[in-house]
Amino acid sequence: MNKRILITGSEGYLGSVIAPFLIERGYDTTGLDIGLFNDALLYKAPHFRVIKKDARNVSARDLRGIDAVVHLAGISINDPFGNLPPEKLYGPTREYARNIAALCKKAGVKFIFASSCSIYGKSGEEMLNEDSVVHPQIDYAKNKLQVEEDLALLADKSFSPIALRFATAFGTSPRMRFDIVINMFAGMAFTEKKITLNSDGQAWRPNVHISDIARAVECALRADYAGGKLLVLNVGTENNNMKIADIANIVSEECGGTPILFAFKEARGARSAFVTSAAVSASGADSRNYRVSFALVKEYFPDFECKYSVRYGVKEMLAQFRKINMTPAQFRDRGFYRIKRLEDLYSKGEIDSEVRLKK
């Protein structure tokens, strides 16, 4: 019998690719999503079964007959909005991750958590691995670390959760995100014929194609890990550890030499960048600066290997943009920027201060 999978946050950037990927490979896959980004579509999304439900309301009944939960649901923004304190946004995210994991433990259901390499935050020149000291720089990363800590406490001989620390994602998805670096640069270059960095571009980032993320999730589903503790694995490839400026150069090359600008050098400063972050100083220095080793994931998932380079992902995105004749208005659509969509919903009174939909 095919494994039955529940994916929380299934109508986001990652879920819109991971769910169809698993369905194509024979997994009986159901999504669960509150629907905040349901209509934020760059192009038509594959149809699959989705339970319309807030992740904080998941119950034991939702897990009946389920073999594994892939937990993607969460707040994916660099900075708070609406002058809300971080705990208002991330407290519920931590709580429902812990509650769903506890339900999985009780029901004997595998739990796979979508964590992030952003936990590492900053380092010197060394390559960071799963045992390295972490220095999360933004609330999003701190939240991921807190969830990992909760999972580690829940783990025992009956429950062996897996946390996949994904590098920064890139690549096409029906529910596109243009607030992540490679996607943003590709969208800028295609629609605006320029690339604007909100930093000096000297910070390192690990990157991973969205299809490789989906393949890693499948590997985790197939793995027979039962170590009795939380298994943490970095997901990506050393070849995609790159400086932001080098990423911009690749995008520029693929677009015929698109000019590269630096927001902090311009008269208007950061206002000329569509997405900014408190982690970037007025001088353009980005406190988020780290390179990551991905050796351990190959030990636990021997058949896993990242297939796609940054350059491949850029070519793929540009081809998709040409296919749909993407316009500057589409690129700037606030539905493709997590914090801007949430700001809009909050200002309209459609969500409350804990990102709960108002009825």
Distance between CA 249 and CA 255 in Å, rounded? 10
pLDDT in tens, 299-309: 999 999 999 99
- Across the range 157-166, mean pLDDT stands at 98
Local confidence band at 289 (pLDDT 50, 70, 90 cut-offs): confident
pLDDT score of 344: 92
Query: Is the confidence at residue 274, as pLDDT, over 90?
Result: no
Local confidence band at 271 (pLDDT 50, 70, 90 cut-offs): very low
Query: Is the confidence at residue 112, as pLDDT, over 50?
Result: yes
SS3 call for 145: helix
Spell out a b/e string for 344-353, using b for 16 or more CB atoms within 10 Å of the CB, else e: ebbeeeebee
Distances (CA, A) of 245 to 73, 105, 124, 231, 318: 31, 44, 18, 33, 19
* DSSP state at residue 159: B
Distance between CA 278 and CA 78 in Å, rounded? 8
pLDDT score of 76: 80
pLDDT in tens, 170-192: 999 999 999 999 999 999 999 99
- The string of DSSP letters for 21-45 reads HHHHTT-EEEEEE--TTTT--SSPP
SS3 call for 7: strand
When comparing pLDDT for 85 and 137, which is higher? 137
- The string of DSSP letters for 212-244 reads HHHHHHHHHHH-----SS-EEEEES-GGG-EEH
Distance between CA 64 and CA 150 in Å, rounded? 23
CATH superfamily of 4-177+207-240+290-308: NAD(P)-binding Rossmann-like Domain (3.40.50.720)
Residue type, 286: D
- Across the range 128-150, mean pLDDT stands at 95
pLDDT in tens, 196-219: 998 788 899 999 999 999 999 999
Distances (CA, A) of 90 to 60, 140, 338, 354: 23, 8, 14, 8
- Across the range 215-238, mean pLDDT stands at 97
- Across the range 331-346, mean pLDDT stands at 93
Pairing, β 260-262 against β 195-197 = parallel
Domain ranges of the chain: 4-177+207-240+290-308
From the number of C-beta atoms within 10 Å of its C-beta (0-12, 13-18, 19+), residue 153 rates as exposed
pLDDT score of 357: 86
Query: Is the confidence at residue 1, as pLDDT, over 60?
Result: no
From the number of C-beta atoms within 10 Å of its C-beta (0-12, 13-18, 19+), residue 336 rates as buried
Distance between CA 30 and CA 248 in Å, rounded? 37
Pairing, β 110-116 against β 162-166 = parallel
pLDDT score of 286: 60
Query: Is the confidence at residue 66, as pLDDT, over 60?
Result: yes
State both tokens at 164.
């996949």
Distance between CA 327 and CA 334 in Å, rounded? 14
pLDDT score of 285: 55
SS3 call for 195: strand
pLDDT score of 151: 98
pLDDT score of 358: 81
pLDDT, mean over the chain: 91
